[in-house]
Structure 1
Amino acid sequence: MLIAENSFWPPLGHDRMRHRWQSWAAWWSGDLDELRTRTPCTAPGGYWARRAAKPGDREMHLPLAADIARTSAELVCGDTPVIEFEDDTATQKAWDDLAQTIGWANTLLEAGEISAALGGVYLRPVWDKNTAGHPLLTTVRADEALPEFRYGVLHSVTFVDELPAPDHWKRRKDAEAWRHLEHHERGQIRHELWLGTTSNTGQLLPLTEHPATEHLEPVIDTTSVRPDGGLLVDYVPNDLPQPLDRLPLGRSDLQGLETMLDALDEAWDSWMRDIELGKARVLLSKEMLDPVSQASSSGGKWGFGRRQNTTPAKAFDTDAKVFVPLDIPAEDAGKPAPITLVQFLIRVKEHYETCMALAEQITSRAGYSPQTMGMHVDGQLSGTAMRRRDHRSYRTRDRKRRYVRPAAERVPETLMLIGAAVFGGPKPKARPTLTWRETDQADPMETANVINTLRQARALSTEIAVQMAHPEWDKTQVGDEVKRLAKEDAALTAPPPTGHEPPVWAKPIQNQPPQPEPEPEPEDDDQ
């Protein structure tokens, strides 16, 4: 992407989704300031819009959006996929070591949560010999990128990093902004440093003008890594299609749920307000709350209801929040004013049912079963019943994994290509294949029953049976187990003893000439 000096920022065509990304990021973070300033655009007139108009009031937030994003990441990437470089032992070993070193599993989890919240994430392989002696893998949020697609395929992308002003810099204008733009294009990566405003690109500066970019090369040739000129980054959409844009930008789990999330916070705040208003109050005359003198009648160090060197307390100041002084006249002359106890009803049932109904609707419309989020989980269920109950969540998980697979197979290849070109590691012969583990759904009793039924019907081999019982095993482990089972089966199927077997210590007779057969006895001739 070519950025012109003193042009509009963000570039035209890239601002349609920006306010929605900012809104989803606010719901995901749960930060009250962000919720107040970023969410009214997607939930106008709601709870947070009113809080923005009247700052200072108490604000409550129920972080269901963050729970949904985290649950999505655990479902999709909680079980680390197996990456196999078939018939390439050297590359496979190098990848296993690298995956452990760079935290491949953790990066996938982070990417899954970002993608669920913002609709997409970029996986960016990088390298820096001064930082590490191997390639590294980072994630870039959807709201920090300016992508260009061709025929549904990522053609180029620019990552935007908002930088603080250098320590030596003196601000010259309001709304000043420093930006590091990292352009990923076919065959190259370009780094640029810009000084502008929140709405203007400003001027292009040398990279040495900022400490965050002074170590970067302006242009990096990537054809040594991918000779075909392909990008080194990959985009992972959370779900498609995107009804708000013609580009294949991913759909957030929170998309279309903003007003319900806003209503949930309002219901939660109303519940907490009921608790505050429901506290017991004692209404009494101000005459009963006269200040207490410094010295007590006992002459002790502390006055009644008041500590030393503090403002005068009241006579009933055992819990000052309980007492409400009012101008209450006495009912009869010469008698003290009445004392009234007040405690309002707390509508627990109504608020609970409202919050639960909203939470169930939000969870279900995000694509998950309420039980997956911890709702309605009373009782003990079998594995079959649990999968049936969480069927919607698993369908959503499988759908998302289809979008993760292409990038999750290409990124390991890119990392190994960087390792070969930059660090002298083994070069992969082909792109690896990805296999998802299914151990999170396995019920041992149910699996055993299925295997037993298929074995009795002679519809399942021993190798497949072992794979079903131990899906986390590799081919070597499965093969070893098959051999052990075959050995045990041979011992179990041996013919029963007859009692005429030679003793164990007896040695077989070898090289002995064959014995002649006995001649038949002559028959008697009585004739």
Structure 2
Amino acid sequence: MPIPDQNTAWLPAPWDYAYRSFAENDAWYTGDTAALAKMYGRESATRSTHVRNGQQMQGGLVGAASRMFWGRPVPANENRARLHVPAPADLAALASDLVFAEPPEVRLESPGETKLRRDGKAQTRLDLIANGDEAHAMFNQMGELKSALGAVALVVRWDTAVAEHAWLEPSAADVIVPTFRSGRMIECTLWSEYVKGSVYYRHLEHHVIGAIEHALYAGSENNLGRRVPLAEIPETASYAELVDSDSRIVTGIDRLTAVYNPNIPTAAWRKKGALAHTGRSDFAQLHGLFDWLDETFSSWMRDLRLGAGKIIVPEAALDFNGIGMGASFDAGREIFAGLNAPGDPSKIAFDKVQFNIRVEEHEKTAFGIYREILRKAGFAQSAWGDYSGKGQMTATEVDDRDKASERTRDKKILQDRVAIARAASVALEIDGKVFPGKGGGRFEQPTVVFPDVSQEDPEKLARTLTLLDAAAAISLEQKVRRANPDWEDDQIRAEVAAIRAERPAVPDPAGFTGDDDPDGVEDPEETL
């Protein structure tokens, strides 16, 4: 999508349709219950509208029949327990941790080379771009965003006043409008929104091969409005000093400075043209389960509230507020209600109300929903704790149970490896132009290496290495590498040498001749 004309609808079709799904996922991800109530309440009100005698009629119970817990209105003056459980945010964090808790390594390699090259200025610049702590933190952020919203764009950034090298920045699917050709993104528009009073300012950043165009519009909630100078608001004033007369920043390279990184291939939109390549959120088909989980915990909290002991008392025992003002009670004083009973109030028996708190029923229901959420998202049931309800399991059963998470991780890595390699390559080329002589430039696409298993259990690793050693199927060097995946080659060599120095030399059985004196000299004491 090129920079749009003035006074056009925002968002442009078909992305207006996609962004409704992005907004729903974002509300669950951020825990915005007000947005959820508004979204599902509006949906139920729309569904309750019907036609009678050619006229649109509104149902009498607007929203009461909503299929979602968060879409049901709360009656006025009623304090109803509503609790949101941050399972969606936890699910996105889990997806990111599974892939990026132990970050990948991006490295330049020569053909046939298998070991990391630390020499050379190009690798040093690449380390700054993609292998430092800043990049690793960015990867974790990217993992969460793409899990929740279905995709991100890895954007190459540079600013000589901020950093001495180029860097990568993730932009979530709900702030980009990509253009695809043959399944590849060939251009994209990133946008930011600033609301000042009744005016909606939108900054559009359009990435094409060789250039980035910046534009600022002043419009309304649903209309882009007129194009205004970048210096009109302070948030975009700095760009006015960077762009040329065409409001563009020329990159000087023949590649796009943004790389699209989908979570997993979309399912629901595979027949919707441009949306077929957007990617699928881990929340897909889980909104109902998220909603039921919130309703379950809300019901649990309601039981806690109702389970507080209440006393039924005569109405005369309540606080009288004055003539014409009735009587009242303080709920904190644990008075439940008054009885308008005849006779002497002192002779009326007091009674108590104590509702049961259904802990076991609510807990089992919640754990069952947790299991279904994890199963649909492709993670092991043990990812959030053991909700399987089984007793002691064998090591084989534990391994089989955890296989689901490992398979999901492998599928996600396929997308991440391609996107990170392309984006790092572009960033290295930009770095060579913005910071000449530092080592950046155009190189072959780097290799992205993920650890074999993220956060591998030390006890499980020790058992694996022991079995491989007993089978004579692994060398000492490989055992050290497996046990210390973040070590450099010189650290591994030093550790191998230290282990060999501590272990006594073992004689070769093949060279044993039966002679106890390897020097061939007879011991005089043995002849006595």
Instruction: Flag whether TM exceeds 0.5 (same fold).
Output: yes
Deviation of residue 412 (structure 1)?
A: 2.3
1:238 aligns with 2:238: no
CA distance in 2: counterparts of 1:491 and 1:388, whole angstroms = 40
Most deviating of 31-40 and 379-388: 379-388
The residue number in structure 1 matching 2:35 is: 34
Deviation of residue 418 (structure 1)?
A: 2.2
The residue number in structure 2 matching 1:110 is: 141
TM-score computed with the length of structure 2 as normaliser: 0.79
CA distance in 2: counterparts of 1:19 and 1:55, whole angstroms = 32
Map Cα deviations across residues 386-434 of structure 1 (whole Å, 9 max, x no partner). Answer: 4322221111111111111011222222222222111222025322211
Asked whether the 8 Å contact 2:130–2:167 carries over to 1, the reply is no
Asked whether the 8 Å contact 1:124–1:232 carries over to 2, the reply is yes
The residue number in structure 1 matching 2:447 is: 433
Asked whether the 8 Å contact 2:41–2:73 carries over to 1, the reply is no
Work out which of the residue numbers 294, 310, 334 in structure 2 matches 1:321. Answer: 334
1:125 aligns with 2:125: no
The residue number in structure 2 matching 1:467 is: 481
1:392 aligns with 2:404: yes
Deviation of residue 368 (structure 1)?
A: 1.4
What secondary structure does 1:493 align onto? coil
What secondary structure does 1:498 align onto? coil
The residue number in structure 1 matching 2:58 is: none
Distance 1:501 1:469, change over 3 A: farther
What secondary structure does 1:368 align onto? coil
CA distance in 2: counterparts of 1:334 and 1:440, whole angstroms = 70
Map Cα deviations across residues 441-478 of structure 1 (whole Å, 9 max, x no partner). Answer: 54455545544544555544444444334333344444
CA distance in 2: counterparts of 1:90 and 1:55, whole angstroms = 68
Residue identity in the other structure for 1:399: K
Asked whether the 8 Å contact 1:451–1:465 carries over to 2, the reply is yes
Where do 5+ consecutive residues of structure 1 fail to align? 166-170, 293-310, 503-527
Aligned residue runs from structure 1 range 365-384, under 5 A: 365-376=376-387
Distance 1:66 1:51, change over 3 A: farther
Residue identity in the other structure for 2:312: L
Work out which of the residue numbers 162, 165, 185 in structure 1 matches 2:193. Answer: 162
Asked whether the 8 Å contact 2:3–2:204 carries over to 1, the reply is no
Distance 1:414 1:55, change over 3 A: farther
Work out which of the residue numbers 61, 86, 110 in structure 2 matches 1:63. Answer: 86
Deviation of residue 98 (structure 1)?
A: 4.5
Distance 1:112 1:215, change over 3 A: same
1:48 aligns with 2:70: yes
CA distance in 1: counterparts of 2:411 and 2:188, whole angstroms = 25
Asked whether the 8 Å contact 1:26–1:39 carries over to 2, the reply is no
Distance 1:15 1:289, change over 3 A: closer
What secondary structure does 1:376 align onto? coil
Deviation of residue 134 (structure 1)?
A: 2.4
1:498 aligns with 2:517: yes
Where do 5+ consecutive residues of structure 2 fail to align? 45-65, 110-116, 522-528
CA distance in 2: counterparts of 1:19 and 1:99, whole angstroms = 33
Deviation of residue 492 (structure 1)?
A: 3.0
Map Cα deviations across residues 54-107 of structure 1 (whole Å, 9 max, x no partner). Answer: 797533211111111111111011111122223552222233345566701110
CA distance in 1: counterparts of 2:397 and 2:32, whole angstroms = 38
The residue number in structure 1 matching 2:233 is: 210
1:276 aligns with 2:305: yes
Deviation of residue 317 (structure 1)?
A: 8.2
Distance 1:497 1:473, change over 3 A: farther
The residue number in structure 1 matching 2:10 is: 9
Work out which of the residue numbers 423, 426, 429 in structure 2 matches 1:417. Answer: 429
Map Cα deviations across residues 240-299 of structure 1 (whole Å, 9 max, x no partner). Answer: 13322442111111111112222222222222222222221111113334679xxxxxxx
What secondary structure does 1:164 align onto? strand
Residue identity in the other structure for 1:434: V
The residue number in structure 1 matching 2:108 is: 85
Residue identity in the other structure for 2:159: D
Asked whether the 8 Å contact 1:454–1:460 carries over to 2, the reply is yes
Distance 1:122 1:376, change over 3 A: same
TM-score computed with the length of structure 1 as normaliser: 0.79
1:220 aligns with 2:232: no
Distance 1:281 1:232, change over 3 A: same
CA distance in 1: counterparts of 2:428 and 2:26, whole angstroms = 33
Aligned residue runs from structure 1 range 437-516, under 5 A: 437-438=451-452, 440=454, 442-444=456-458, 446-455=460-469, 457-482=471-496, 491-493=505-507, 498=517
CA distance in 2: counterparts of 1:334 and 1:434, whole angstroms = 82
Distance 1:282 1:41, change over 3 A: closer
Aligned residue runs from structure 1 range 178-193, under 5 A: 178-193=201-216
CA distance in 2: counterparts of 1:222 and 1:361, whole angstroms = 47
CA distance in 1: counterparts of 2:331 and 2:485, whole angstroms = 66
Deviation of residue 197 (structure 1)?
A: 1.4
Deviation of residue 335 (structure 1)?
A: 5.6
Distance 1:319 1:191, change over 3 A: closer
Most deviating of 347-356 and 274-283: 347-356
Asked whether the 8 Å contact 2:191–2:205 carries over to 1, the reply is yes
Asked whether the 8 Å contact 2:211–2:248 carries over to 1, the reply is yes
Asked whether the 8 Å contact 1:26–1:38 carries over to 2, the reply is no
Work out which of the residue numbers 256, 266, 277 in structure 1 matches 2:285. Answer: 256
Residue identity in the other structure for 1:67: D
Work out which of the residue numbers 357, 374, 386 in structure 1 matches 2:368. Answer: 357
CA distance in 2: counterparts of 1:490 and 1:283, whole angstroms = 84
The residue number in structure 1 matching 2:420 is: 408
The root-mean-square deviation of aligned C-alpha atoms, in Å, is 3.4
Distance 1:443 1:252, change over 3 A: closer
Work out which of the residue numbers 324, 339, 357 in structure 1 matches 2:350. Answer: 339
User: How many equivalent pairs are there?
Assistant: 470
Distance 1:476 1:383, change over 3 A: farther
Asked whether the 8 Å contact 2:106–2:131 carries over to 1, the reply is no
CA distance in 2: counterparts of 1:119 and 1:53, whole angstroms = 36
CA distance in 2: counterparts of 1:351 and 1:45, whole angstroms = 20
